[in-house]
Structure 1
Amino acid sequence: MKLLKYDEELFLKLVEKEGLAYRGKIEEIVDEICDKGYSNIFLIGAGGTIAMMYPYEYILKANSTIEVQAQIAAEFMVMNNRRFSEDSVCIFTSVSGTTEETVAAAKFCREKGATTIALVAEPNTPLTYAVDHCITTGSETHSFDTFFMLLHMVVFRFMHNKGEFPQYKKFIEEVALLPKAILNAVKAFDVKAEEFAIKHKDTDYHMMVGSGNLWGNTYSYAMCILEEMQWIHAKSIHAAEFFHGTLELVLEDTSVILLKGEDETRPLMDRVERFAEKITKQLTVIDTKDFEMEGISDEFRSHFSVNINWALLSRISVYLERERNHPLTLRRYYRQMAY
């Protein structure tokens, strides 16, 4: 089965072979920071990269006593956050390494004495020079798949060093199984991704609902893919807030997309699903529980839902691009004009 615009060998090379090889460097960086001591962690980004941080803010809040904040770079720069200090650890990601707000925030944090770490796809770009520690993956292709996996290593290493995650060794062994689990999930989902794109190529509005560690993916896909890359009206709604306003806009023909994961917030998604299936005939449920993660234990599946879910959504993007004859790279305004 050959997937449209998907090179399996390249995926495994970039994410499995090269991505997993950064484990040692990541552990060295985190261990050095922990030995020195720190007060809290700031996960800072803009657009898709702040959305990428939300899963890890959730994971830390739900599983650790480490103080953590996910902050939008531009707002962070002007808010005078009273929890931020020279003892803070600030983590950034960027595919291009040139995102203006992210680079500015990284420089700001470093100048204030905080310890800065970045994951960047493109080498020798402004962000790579603006931080104390940088992992440069070297390719924009499958960069989010790689970044998510590396952020697992970073966050859970901090938890392990604090004595809050003794399962770290087993966890990292299962992280190594993620690339093949992602590839198998993508293959299993591809027909449904194509069917969705064909069915909804002319749909002009989608509600996307998520929760827990999938809230970031929900927010990102609605904003960065549907709105920015496809010019489709979309709204991201947290399942816990769905019944405080948004439910009144669901009609028989409203497209509602539910991103279901496997963490503690799943019952919140179940509640939205029970409601939506009574009202709309355009309900789409993307549930990571439907996909086998070979060799991965039930204990860690919920954390890896982030990786699986994003890979599945990326297949929808490929087919939307084809069916709508709208390249994912096409923009009206973003980086096309000054604003």
Structure 2
Amino acid sequence: MLNFDENRFLKIQGGAVALRARLEDVISTCLKSGAENIFFLGTGGAAILMQPAAQLLQRRSRFPTFIDMPAELILTGSANLTAKSIIVMPSLSGTTKESVALLAKMKEIGATVITLVGHADTPLGRGGDHVFVNFAEDDTSCESFYLQSLFIALSIMRHWGELENHAEITAELDRLPHLLLSVKRGFEPKAAEFATKLASADYHIITGAGNVWPEAFYYGMCILEEMQWIRTRPVHASDFFHGTLELIEKDVSLILFKGEDALRPLANRVEAFVPQYTDRLIVLDTAEFELEGISPEVRALISPILLATLLERISAHLEVLRDHPLTTRRYYKRVAY
């Protein structure tokens, strides 16, 4: 595969899976100690990657779950954020400015802070009450963060008696690193084709629904915009027909992500409409990829993880086609802002 280290990928995703037992222990301890709610408080891309787990809890659990922006909470606070709150703070670098600032406030409040970082010797790596370290880099962090947050959500549901088959689900999740690698290998030829289509336009509308919508948002903002300087318009599939459909015309590119959860019909609706007005529709559908031994229930849970692993292959080809390395920045962490 182009510019890809298979052993490194397995080590990183295997590292995320290896954190599951301790994550479950910490969550169980917090809940037994009287925790009343959970906040997922990441910044930027890391925050977006927490959304599927937060959504899962909000829709299928009685445990109060919130997701908010540290930059706003620093200024406003929250009536629900108390000493009985569990705070999940993801940051690959462990140095994200807004998250570090919020960490100090969480200490004052007395909330229990769980940090998910790629580096231990950092403010967030040293500052959490419970620190989980799994080294990763930009091209491998999505799957790692998705998995860790999913383990947290599933653990809460098990504690509340809302998930009878927790052991079976997590046993399937433990197999994911090797399965994802197999998917990457099989997708490599098509990844180059997808990248060519992406490189042929300087503006894309990106949409999806359910738990793959965050990946659509993430890929548009953090990869195409930040790392490739390609203009995008991420829009949730449920909002597409309330404004953005008017931008569809000949030669307008639309990228559609399709997952396997209950919100798939919203993506189907977009897919039926768009080809009538433009021939530049790119569809990436997780249902087209084999994951041996993974049940439909778990496939629905991991659709964003599968998309992330496919998109990494597309991005690897895209940076070569455009002669624009994914590490190139003009402003991000380069100038004062």
TM-score band, normalised by shorter chain: over 0.9
Counting only pairs closer than 5 Å after superposition, residues 1-12 of structure 1 correspond to structure 2 as 3-12=1-10
Q: C-alpha distance in 1, partners of 2:252/2:228? A: 18
Q: Encode CA deviations 1:245-284: one digit per residue, 9 max, x unaligned.
A: 0000011211100010011111011001101121111101
Query: RMSD over aligned Cα, in angstroms?
Result: 1.3
| Residue 199 of structure 1: how far off its partner (Å) | 3.0
Residue of structure 2 aligned with 1:276, choices 264, 269, 274? 274
Matched letter for residue 338 of structure 1: A
- What is the aligned length? 336
Q: Equivalent residue of 2:226, what SS?
A: helix
Contact 2:37–2:86 under 8 Å retained in 1: yes
Identity across aligned pairs (percent)? 40
Query: Unaligned 5+ residue runs, structure 2?
Result: none
1:296 is aligned to 294
Q: C-alpha distance in 2, partners of 1:154/1:219? A: 22
Residue of structure 2 aligned with 1:196, choices 194, 197, 202? 194
Residue of structure 1 aligned with 2:72, choices 60, 72, 75? 75
Q: C-alpha distance in 2, partners of 1:277/1:186? A: 28
| Residue 299 of structure 1: how far off its partner (Å) | 1.8
Residue of structure 1 aligned with 2:85, choices 79, 85, 88? 88
Counting only pairs closer than 5 Å after superposition, residues 327-338 of structure 1 correspond to structure 2 as 327-338=325-336
Q: Equivalent residue of 1:240, what SS?
A: helix
Q: C-alpha distance in 1, partners of 2:324/2:141? A: 22
| Residue 138 of structure 1: how far off its partner (Å) | 2.9
Q: C-alpha distance in 2, partners of 1:160/1:142? A: 28
Query: Unaligned 5+ residue runs, structure 1?
Result: none
Matched letter for residue 76 of structure 1: L
| Residue 37 of structure 1: how far off its partner (Å) | 1.4
Q: Equivalent residue of 1:241, what SS?
A: helix
Q: Encode CA deviations 1:113-134: one digit per residue, 9 max, x unaligned.
A: 1111011011211111221111
Q: C-alpha distance in 2, partners of 1:267/1:7? A: 36
| Residue 143 of structure 1: how far off its partner (Å) | 2.5
Residue of structure 1 aligned with 2:102, choices 85, 105, 130? 105
Matched letter for residue 306 of structure 1: P
1:234 is aligned to 232
| Residue 309 of structure 1: how far off its partner (Å) | 0.7
2:145 is aligned to 147
Matched letter for residue 56 of structure 2: I
The alignment's TM-score, normalised by the length of structure 1, stands at 0.96
1:60 is aligned to 57
Q: Equivalent residue of 1:37, what SS?
A: coil
Matched letter for residue 289 of structure 1: A
1:250 aligns with 2:245: no
| Residue 80 of structure 1: how far off its partner (Å) | 2.5
Q: C-alpha distance in 1, partners of 2:136/2:283? A: 31
| Residue 27 of structure 1: how far off its partner (Å) | 1.7
| Residue 144 of structure 1: how far off its partner (Å) | 2.3
| Residue 188 of structure 1: how far off its partner (Å) | 2.3
| Residue 219 of structure 1: how far off its partner (Å) | 0.9
Contact 1:110–1:132 under 8 Å retained in 2: no
Residue of structure 1 aligned with 2:170, choices 148, 169, 172? 172
| Residue 73 of structure 1: how far off its partner (Å) | 1.4
Q: C-alpha distance in 2, partners of 1:306/1:161? A: 24
| Residue 106 of structure 1: how far off its partner (Å) | 2.2
Matched letter for residue 252 of structure 1: K
Q: C-alpha distance in 2, partners of 1:30/1:142? A: 25
2:133 is aligned to 136
| Residue 164 of structure 1: how far off its partner (Å) | 0.9
The alignment's TM-score, normalised by the length of structure 2, stands at 0.96
Matched letter for residue 2 of structure 2: L
| Residue 300 of structure 1: how far off its partner (Å) | 1.5
Q: C-alpha distance in 2, partners of 1:19/1:114? A: 24
Residue of structure 2 aligned with 1:26, choices 17, 23, 26? 23
Residue of structure 2 aligned with 1:37, choices 34, 38, 43? 34
Matched letter for residue 93 of structure 2: S
1:217 is aligned to 215
Larger displacement relative to structure 2 (178-187 or 298-307): 178-187
Contact 2:23–2:152 under 8 Å retained in 1: yes
Matched letter for residue 28 of structure 2: D
| Residue 189 of structure 1: how far off its partner (Å) | 2.0
Q: Equivalent residue of 1:229, what SS?
A: coil
Larger displacement relative to structure 2 (75-84 or 236-245): 75-84
Matched letter for residue 71 of structure 2: A
Residue of structure 2 aligned with 1:14, choices 12, 26, 48? 12
Contact 1:107–1:131 under 8 Å retained in 2: no
Q: Equivalent residue of 2:240, what SS?
A: coil
Q: C-alpha distance in 2, partners of 1:177/1:321? A: 30
Contact 2:61–2:162 under 8 Å retained in 1: yes
Q: C-alpha distance in 2, partners of 1:79/1:190? A: 46
Q: C-alpha distance in 1, partners of 2:221/2:279? A: 24
| Residue 198 of structure 1: how far off its partner (Å) | 2.0
| Residue 86 of structure 1: how far off its partner (Å) | 1.2
